[in-house]
Every structure is written in C-alpha cells, then in structure tokens.
Amino acid sequence: MGGGSKQAGPLGADAPADDQRGPTGLQAGANAAQALPPTIAEYKDTAEKKTYSYKGGKAQILLCRLATPTPDASWSLKKIRVDTKNNAQLGFTDCTFVSEVVSNPKAEAAGYFSARGALKTLKIRIPKELNITDAQIQAAEAKKDVPLTKKLKAFKACRDLLVTHELKHVAEAWAALSDVTLGYELKLGTLGESTDVTKDHMTKAVDDGIAKAPAAIEKSAKDWDNKDLDLLRQAFRGQHVFIDPGDDKEFLYVEPANP
C-alpha cells in the first residue's frame, strides 16, 4: 500500500518509481481496505431489491421487498369486513414501509453515505370459509357426496383467485416505490456538482421516503382494486359462488340449473 512500484510498459524498468505515500496514495489504500461505494446490507428475508445511486455512488439507497407471509385464513368474511369497515371487502393485504440511514464510518469519512428501505407485507388475510384443502375435497369424494364436492372445489377455486389478487397487491406496491415516488431523486439527484453529500442529506431523503411511501402504497392498492375487483367478483360468480347480502356475510354455492 503506497510503496514505490516499477511499472512495465513503454518506459520499461527504467521508469521512475511511482511512490504514492502522499494524500493520493493514502486514499487509494483506504479505498482498497473499504470498497467504495460500500455494499449495503440487505434486510433479512429480502425477496427483491433495487439500488438507487447518485453523485457517482457518494449517495446510495437500497430498496428491498421482504418475503411475503403465508395468507392468514383465521378470520371469517364477516370479521374481515367489520375490521376493515368495508362491506365490500373479500380479503386484504397490509403493507408498510421502513427505512434508515446505514452507518458506515469508514465510508462516510471518504464521503460515501448509504441508506436502505424495505416494503414489508405485515399480513394477507383471506376468509376462512374459502380456505379449503385438498384433503377436505378428497374426503367428500370418498363419501361420494357430489354436492359437497362441487361446493368445496368451487370455494377452493375462489380462494386461489383471491390469493392471486392479494399477492398482486404486494407486487403493485413494490412497483410503486421508486426514487421518484419516495422523493430520493429530488433530495439527492439534484445536488450540484460542487455539493458534497452529507449524512444530513441522507437523513432528509430517508425521512422524505418514509413520509411519502404510505400514499404511494395506498394509491397502488386503490388502482389495483379498481382494475381487478369487478373481474374477481365475476370469476367468483363463474364458480357459482355468491355472498349472502344479510348480516352473516356467508359464502353461498348455488348449484347451476341443469339445461
């Protein structure tokens, strides 16, 4: 590190020694010990990630999407609707966003600052009435109970349709989170060439992202529901599954009439 070296090439071995013991040599040695820009550690259980970098890597933010939990089927449709205060709800997905400045003293001493954020899916809920297993269907088939078998198969098909819809909510939320919607581009991408990045810049960018993420996630959820909910209900009806309009909010399988 920083010692004299003879460079092979056009000048050959008679070229003057390249002694980098001064500031340049010390910086090169520090860069070798601390890779720059530094790698930002992922959150645990990261499923997807994307990195935004500004000013030659002097400011960088890692966004992660954490693994999606298994859908929870412990609530009835009625409880889901009461809890969400939405009498048209079939299921729901609850996502949140967390973010923080990443401390790396050596990198910061060299002028490099990092942060990270994550989309976390806290819960996906589907009605327990639809959570039919293959074992239940096989048991009904073994008893030769044709009406029950048809009902269970229809309910399971609707469960699969609903799970697909809810998982898409996560994908849409992830797509909605970017350096533009979270404000990073405005806070960091517009810094002038002569402006040095500071920890304060990163803190303000992180705070801005935390403030803006809920609206971006909520908008993605509304847009997806507006696009897909009517089609989902049509698909339920295609399975001959309807919802009792009464207070109990029960799923009903209506046997199609014979032609």
pLDDT tens-digit profile of 198-225? 999 999 999 999 999 999 999 999 999 9
> How many whole angstroms separate alpha carbon 50 and alpha carbon 99?
14
The neighbour count for residue 2, using CB atoms within 10 Å, is 14
Give the type of residue at 143: K
Q: What is the pLDDT of residues 84-115, one digit of tens each?
A: 998 889 999 999 999 999 999 999 999 999 99
Give the type of residue at 100: E
Give me the pLDDT at residue 245, please: 79
Cα dihedral sign for 124, 172, 205, 28?
positive
Instruction: Quote the tokens at residue 103.
Output: 């401390």
> How many whole angstroms separate alpha carbon 117 and alpha carbon 114?
11
Name the residue with tokens 């002028």. 111
The neighbour count for residue 4, using CB atoms within 10 Å, is 10
Phi-psi region of 189 (alpha: psi -120 to 50; beta: other; left: phi over 0): alpha
Instruction: Quote the tokens at residue 185.
Output: 């581009």
Locate the domains of the chain by residue range: 41-253
The neighbour count for residue 227, using CB atoms within 10 Å, is 11
Instruction: Quote the tokens at residue 151.
Output: 């009902």
Measure CA 83 to chain center: 24
Give me the pLDDT at residue 188, please: 96
Give me the pLDDT at residue 256, please: 80
> How many whole angstroms separate alpha carbon 162 and alpha carbon 233?
10
DSSP codes joined into one string, 47-115: EEEEEEEETTTTEEEEEEEEPPPPPB--S-HHHHHHHHT-TT-S-EEEEEEEEEEEP-HHHHHTT-EEE
Spell out the per-residue pLDDT of the chain, length 259, in tens. 333 222 333 323 333 334 433 344 445 445 555 689 999 999 999 999 999 999 999 999 999 999 999 999 999 999 999 999 988 899 999 999 999 999 999 999 999 999 999 999 999 999 999 999 999 999 999 999 999 999 999 999 999 999 999 999 999 999 999 999 999 999 999 999 899 999 999 999 999 999 999 999 999 999 999 999 999 999 999 999 999 877 778 899 998 876 5
